[in-house]
Amino acid sequence: MSLNVGGIDRIARIVLGIILVIVGFFVMSGTWGTVVGVVGLIPLATGLSGWCPLYLPFKFSTRK
């Protein structure tokens, strides 16, 4: 598993993930809030880890 998420991409994913988690779990309520919060965990995790599994089939990388 090699890193394939570059600097600006990582920052954008982390910021977007944090926003979605906060909105989903603390602002919204019910099922949609939970869905938005869980979906926010995906970009947050890929941003923190630096690896995106969806980039693999396309052999794509934003890392230099």
Q: For the chain, give every domain's residue range.
A: 7-55
Whose tokens are 């938005």? That residue is: 36
Q: What is the pLDDT of residues 4-61, one digit of tens each?
A: 999 999 999 999 999 999 999 999 999 999 999 999 999 999 999 999 999 999 999 9
Q: Tell me what pLDDT residue 6 has.
A: 95
**pTM listed for this prediction:** 0.91
DSSP 16-62: HHHHHHHIIIIIS-HHHHHHHHHHHHHHHHHHHHT--GGGTTTT---
Q: Tell me what pLDDT residue 15 has.
A: 98
